[in-house]
Amino acid sequence: MTLRTKILKMHPANLVLASFVLAIALATFLLKLPISTRAGHIDWIDALFTATSAVCVTGLVVVDTGSYFTVFGQGVIIAFIQMGGLGVMTISVALFQYLGRSVSIRHRMAMQDLFAHTPREDIFSLVKSIVLFTFGAEAVGAVLLTVHWSHELPFLQAMYTAGFHAISAFCNAGFALFPDSMMRYNDDIFLNTTVCGLIVIGGIGFPVLYELQCWVRHKQKKGRLSVQTKTVLLTTLILIVTGALMFAFLEGRPPSNTRSWAHQIMIAVFQSITCRTAGFNTVDIASLKDSTLAMMTFLMFIGASPGSCGGGVKTTTLALLSAFTIDRMMRRKRVNIFKKSIPPETVTRSVSLVLVSMAVIGGVVFLLLMGTPASGNEAVEAHGSFLVLLFETVSAFGTVGLSLGVTSALNTWGKFWIISMMIMGRVGILTFAYIIAGTKAVKGVEYSEENLMIG
């Protein structure tokens, strides 16, 4: 059996995972080239970590992107951020379509699993729309950011900086060319608005963007948006507003009393948006209160929306479990959202997703605690090793990229576990569950029922 035949017979879940692994391997090799770093050398584990963070659009770094890597190395990083944000499968299908070559049924199924909540015949139109919209949004963002940075940088450098951050923001990657991320611009409303807009658009999911595009063009009747789109938009809005209010309440006005309320609200909104999947920050994360970090950990665990650039358990899972809890408390038989009943199998999968995700995160945190020094790091001294490592692990799982500064202090095994979490978060925990156990229950014996007390 040839390699091509084996690839064509792969299940879409295996195909998606394989595509990301191959992309990470290629990015690692390119970052290891002497031309990629200013020092001409980078450790294999650090190259692998950076490559994984780029392909999985996470943003966790062990070295400073702007000062450690050359323009070539930064180009490799942003190219693989783009590839990882769109999805390797999306790019390959779009390229095959452009060249007029046929696309296998496996590739079509992979696209269906990634970007559609219901079976659809226009999957190629969806892929084409995704690619065009992505490049269009990034181009608009790059132009706006060029206008901003042209006032402080030479024009070509301003264009380069703007393009890098526009792609990083839309793909929810969080890579920045500045050592303090966006902290120096926390009072710039133009930059904050542009970056937040790119993050939100890239995080609500390509299926939602495609449906909204069709809705605007009157291809669908007004008011006939799907439950998927309505749920994503409403949940995203609630999370942004609630996260911003919680951040502002928990942090309050700084002791220096130098910020206005408008400035403080802008910081709160930015962190509420970015901490669910993007990874940029306009405040020093390590200086935040433990209660604020706990709230941000919850938002990172939820993550972005299905079919987007982000990770986490997804906004729709939170909405579905909330509806499930309310309906059970009201003694309702079915879970209903926007006057539509959700299939029981979908509810079961959402519960399994959250439980498995929590178990995996807990296991990785335990492994990190075994191999990470309990002291010697400022963040660990201030917040305790458990909260610091939990924050780091959930950030990797949600492909967020925020950190309390412990990333570079991790040993080789610690970096390996975080790498694993980034891949799981980007590909999806249920994809790994399928690869390990399959999609259907085919074994087991059914006995007579007997009740069990719970709660």
SS3 358: helix
Phi, psi of 439 (to 5 degrees): -95, -25
Are 89 and 114 in contact by the 8 Å Cβ rule? The answer is yes
* 207-213: Cβ within 8 A, 24+ apart: 207/115, 207/116, 207/117, 207/126, 207/306, 207/307, 208/232, 208/233, 208/305, 208/307, 209/129, 209/130, 209/133, 210/126, 210/129, 210/130, 210/133, 213/129, 213/133
Q: What does pLDDT average to over the chain?
A: 82
Torsion, Cα of 325, 330, 331, 337 (10° steps): -60
pLDDT at residue 255, rounded to an integer: 46
- CB contact at 8 A, 414 and 372: yes
Nearest to 228 by CA among 342, 91, 110: 342
Q: Where are the domains of the chain?
A: 11-436
Please say whether the beta carbons of 117 and 337 come within 8 A.
Answer: no
The answer to whether 176 touches 182, Cβ cutoff 8 Å, is yes
Contact 421, 80 (CB under 8 A): no
Cα(130)–Cα(3) distance, integer angstroms = 29
Q: What is the pLDDT of residues 262-285, one digit of tens each?
A: 788 899 999 999 988 888 999 989
Q: In 171-280, which residue ranges form alpha helices assigned H by DSSP?
A: 189-203, 206-216, 227-251, 261-274
CB 356: neighbour CB atoms within 10 A?
16
In sign, the C-alpha dihedral spanning 42, 43, 49, 51 is: positive
What stretches in the chain show pLDDT beneath 50? 96, 98-103, 105, 255-256, 437
Q: Are 274 and 181 in contact (CB under 8 A)?
A: no
Count Cβ atoms within 10 A of the Cβ of residue 449 and give its class: 0-12 exposed, 13-18 middle, 19 or more buried.
exposed
Quick one: pLDDT at residue 68?
Answer: 94
Query: What per-residue confidence (pLDDT) applies to 67?
Result: 92
Q: Which residues contact 179 (CB under 8 A, 6 or more apart)?
A: 64, 66, 67
What is the spatial distance between Cα 79 and Cα 163, in angstroms, rounded to a whole number?
11
Q: Kindly write down the DSSP assignment for every residue of 78-143, as one continuous string.
A: HHHHHHHHH-HHHHHHHHHHHHT----HHHHHHHHHHH-SS--S-HHHHHHHHHHHHHHHHHHHHH
Angle subtended at Cα 20 by Cα 19 and Cα 21, rounded to the nearest 5 degrees: 95
Cβ contacts of 270 within 8 Å, gap of 6 or more: 182, 186, 192, 195, 196, 280, 282
The pLDDT of residue 5: 57
Per DSSP, the three-state class of 336 is: strand
| Distance from C-alpha of 197 to C-alpha of 231, rounded to nearest angstrom | 19
User: Is the separation of the CB atoms in 447 and 391 below 8 Å?
Assistant: no
